[in-house]
Structure 1
């Protein structure tokens, strides 16, 4: 991961990444403004205030427009950065694979299975998931700290009695939300952990299958000459 971000492409890559981060922060800010808009809008409906109601409709229209523009441009820049990163890594790995007959020694010693699949697909998965997970984590943390004060304000304290003692839990909805998030994350990790090995085996089997089909295309003359269709089908 690191070589790309310190390579000759670092200035372009970092400028795109910083722009994406700023767009993510802007998207969260728009979400906070829309959250506040809901309160004013429904208060206007409850109070039958037509002037405020009309103003809030116009306000929502430009907030929604700004949010859509930010979201589209963020997706565009993220995909551009991912494609640029993948292209750079693919070029470097193909160069290493072909240098000093590495492709020959790897195949003869069976050091790595399906290196072509790893270069073609695994680099795509690496770049795509690295960006999505990193930017998703950043956006989630900013959203958490942005909305936690709002949730704390509207939830208020919760009082309950236990063993003849009265306890007060301030901002109880915040604590319930955090508990829900932690338990959900642990449950997802427990369920998803076995899937890592299954996904690895799935990729390996699919790569072997594609290699077998390509081998039939490359050796079509010999297979047709010796009537080896049944043997190839059984293999």
Structure 2
């Protein structure tokens, strides 16, 4: 549909330039048909993507729950407390890891297809440009690649530490949720010993850590937004400026100019897709690592249990009928 809409731009603006009312009406009819086709295609792709996410998450959840419940690992984790909030890792982090990964896979595939398709449009429509006796073939393609490389490099410099900052924030959020759950589970004990003030102070300290890590993320996002906002203003104008000399010289029509401008924007968006989605990429990376760490800890827990079998408590009847605790630690 995107390629068809791009070709429609040429048809419509050429009809507008020639002031042909019949072609304008035909263009409007074609656009309505394209809108309907695009809507149907989008709905079909949405159904496929979300159903695939659901099936994959169902498999992952069942696998993690089975491993959590096997060999009473859920009880061992509650005693050892070496992994924070396993239920949130299974439910929330598992969902984010699956959903964002599928979104990234489809997004990257779509970006590659869009870039390949619209680069050919730019190459053939833009043609070559002669400056000071030097002919530059496919100058619009060179321009969009150079422009996208500059913006992507700028986003990399400004948002490079974002992944680690988002991961640290996710860990702090999970720790805070764990402490809240711990307080709820031990509400009776806290109330009996009068530990309300101490517990409140401990929870506030945990949230202070969340706030500090949020501030670090906000700072990085602000820098990236500064660059992306400027890019949103410049990107639609640059192809018009580059194509204006050829249009004024009569080498291309108004439709060609608008089609090339639309193709330029599509290629630029495709090439900058990863940079534009860096925040979501950081969220996925953090959640995926937490799920992987939980799965790895299940294996390590089994190894610890196997190594401790020789030190298990042995229950037996005493000869004198009394209770004896021998070598118990």
> Scaled by the length of structure 2, what TM-score is found?
0.57
Structure 1 runs not aligned, ≥5 long: 1-29
Cross-structure match for 2:201? 234
Question: What are the equivalent positions in structure 2 for 1:97-112 lying under 5 Å apart?
Answer: 97-106=68-77, 111-112=82-83
> How many residue pairs get matched?
202
Shift of 1:116: 2.4
Cross-structure match for 1:154? 125
Aligned-residue CA RMSD (Å): 1.9
Deviations 1:203-231 (A, max 9, x none): 11111111121122222222223222101
Runs of 4 or more off by more than 6 Å in structure 1?
none
Shift of 1:104: 4.1
CA distance in 2, matches of 1:214, 1:109: 16
For the 8 Å contact 2:85–2:177, the answer to whether it is kept is: no
Structure 2 runs not aligned, ≥5 long: 203-329
Give the stretch that moved more between structures: 79-88 or 58-67: 79-88
CA distance in 2, matches of 1:195, 1:167: 43
Cross-structure match for 1:185? 152
Shift of 1:190: 2.9
- Whichever of the two has the greater Rg, that structure is 2
1:195 alignment partner, one of 141, 155, 162: 162
Secondary structure in 2 matching 1:177: helix
Cα distance change, pair 158–44 in 1 and its aligned pair in 2 (3 A): closer
Deviations 1:104-124 (A, max 9, x none): 444555543332222122211
Shift of 1:102: 2.9
Question: What are the equivalent positions in structure 2 for 1:1-235 lying under 5 Å apart?
Answer: 30-106=1-77, 111-161=82-132, 166-235=133-202
Shift of 1:79: 1.7
Shift of 1:138: 0.9
Deviations 1:142-170 (A, max 9, x none): 11111112111222212334xxxx43210
